[in-house]
Amino acid sequence: MAATKPKIAFVIQRYGLEINGGAEFLCQKLAERMAKIWEIEIITTCANNYQTWENYYQPGAENINGIKVKRFSNDLRDLKKYEEASKALYQSNHPVSWAEFRQWGREAGPFSQELFDYIKTNAQNYDFFFFFTYAYATTLFGLELVAEKSFLVPFAHDDFLINLSVLENFFALPRAIIFSSPSEKRLLGQKFPNLNLKGELGGIGIDLPKNISPINFQKKYGLDGNYLLYLGRVDVGKNCQKLIDYFLQYLAETGRDLKLVLVGQIYMPTSNHPSILMPGFISEAEKNEALAGCLAVINPSIYESLSLILLEAWSFNCPTLVDAKCATTVDQSKRSQCGLWYNNYEEFKLGLEYIINHPDLAKNGQKFIRQNYSWEKIISAYQKVIENY
């Protein structure tokens, strides 16, 4: 007689095939893989847009790629109240209390009382809960309801929030933590030295590409020469405008025939420069075609717990360039020896020139992925936390 699969809930702020956020993408791919050994359900909101939390999806249950998804209506974000709450935290002249932080979390959203009521009422129907991304209301208000059977996948990075001492009590709540990268584990250990942060090193599994041609992507977007690629949310907060500024300065100085392609949901003004393409959200197949043909992948974001963009690039033996202010992406680049980093425009320019002159910089990228980011390794980490903690 076959053993009963553990029933596991993944709780995340938003979930859908149209969403290309890093945490959301990891949660989706992980759920689809773990469904072979666990009974997985997604508990999420109806939101799609991370800025407004507008109820884009219908509440209720649906099936996405074989995974049961339960959606609950959520409050819209009141931007003025959110800015006021954020300002109160940033400018506080005293240690922030848990009540003050919870108020910020409610305004940050997405806040769904229906979702929290469901978790509280149905806690006994699940063996364990995994909460993805610590700094959203779904985790801040949901995890405490079922802390005794919960695990946290925090996606923490070195920003203002992680320096709030009040978070020490929050990170003590889960049974264990799945760390996305060694640098995230070190960061949390440095910020909360009094905690025994138990857990496993996870991340995401990367499938190595097979026989992928860039021709269709290049034809569709008129790319008849070399191009640089950015993947992810196209947003000022991800330093995309700074990347565009650096790129245009580089073109002006070098006169190179080169384009910059920024792929992902667009949350900033688009550029009409002929050397910059912003096609918006594209399919997984098109994304792989884009990766197969690019000169290099650039990730200018300074707030990362694990850069999926870099891992995907290295799976194609494609070199990368990152902002040196992000310890995580620099650490990934050092570990893989497949990428460079820059502190300013001059180093950005030098990095691009080096990559152009050394196209085999990431020749060991696939080897690094096989050794560190196979799905077998990631699945094992998630199995270990429910078995050992």
Residue at token pair 């933590």: 177
pLDDT beyond 60 at 267:
yes
Q: Which domain holds residue 48?
A: 7-205+374-388
Helix (H/G/I), strand (E/B), else coil: 90: helix
* pLDDT average, residue stretch 159-163: 90
pLDDT beyond 90 at 95:
no
Residue at token pair 């000022």: 236
Do 381 and 338 belong to one domain? no
* pLDDT average, residue stretch 98-106: 92
Closest CA relative to residue 307, chosen from 284, 279, 335 = 335
CATH number of the domain that residue 173 is part of: 3.40.50.2000
Distance of alpha carbon 54 from the chain centroid? 20
Do 292 and 378 belong to one domain? no
Are the beta carbons of 152 and 174 closer than 8 angstroms? yes
280 located within any domain: yes
Summarised one tens digit per residue, pLDDT across range 334-385 is: 999 999 999 999 999 999 999 999 999 999 999 999 999 999 999 999 999 9
The beta strand positions in the chain, using DSSP E, are 7-11, 39-45, 60-64, 67-72, 128-132, 150-153, 176-179, 199-201, 226-231, 258-263, 276-280, 296-299, 320-323, 339-342
Summarised one tens digit per residue, pLDDT across range 249-259 is: 999 999 999 99
pLDDT band, very low/low/confident/very high, at 1 (cuts 50, 70, 90): very low
Do 27 and 161 belong to one domain? yes
Are the beta carbons of 169 and 189 closer than 8 angstroms? no
Residues in the chain: 389
210 located within any domain: no
382 located within any domain: yes
328 located within any domain: yes
| pLDDT attached to residue 228 | 98
Give how many domains the chain has, as a whole number: 2
Do 236 and 274 belong to one domain? yes
Summarised one tens digit per residue, pLDDT across range 178-212 is: 999 999 999 999 999 999 999 999 989 999 999 89
Do 382 and 246 belong to one domain? no
| pLDDT attached to residue 88 | 87
| pLDDT attached to residue 3 | 65
pLDDT beyond 90 at 21:
no
* pLDDT average, residue stretch 318-336: 96
Do 311 and 333 belong to one domain? yes
pLDDT band, very low/low/confident/very high, at 91 (cuts 50, 70, 90): confident
2 located within any domain: no
Do 350 and 221 belong to one domain? yes
Do 352 and 378 belong to one domain? no
| pLDDT attached to residue 184 | 94
Do 172 and 299 belong to one domain? no
pLDDT beyond 80 at 2:
no
pLDDT band, very low/low/confident/very high, at 19 (cuts 50, 70, 90): confident
Summarised one tens digit per residue, pLDDT across range 269-299 is: 999 999 999 999 999 899 999 999 999 999 9
Summarised one tens digit per residue, pLDDT across range 40-73 is: 999 999 999 988 999 999 999 999 999 999 999 9
Do 121 and 155 belong to one domain? yes
| pLDDT attached to residue 160 | 87
Do 318 and 379 belong to one domain? no
Do 383 and 367 belong to one domain? no
Helix (H/G/I), strand (E/B), else coil: 186: helix
| pLDDT attached to residue 4 | 86
178 located within any domain: yes
1 located within any domain: no
Report the interhelical angle of 22-34 vs 375-388 (nearest 10°): 80
183 located within any domain: yes
* pLDDT average, residue stretch 118-124: 97
| pLDDT attached to residue 61 | 97
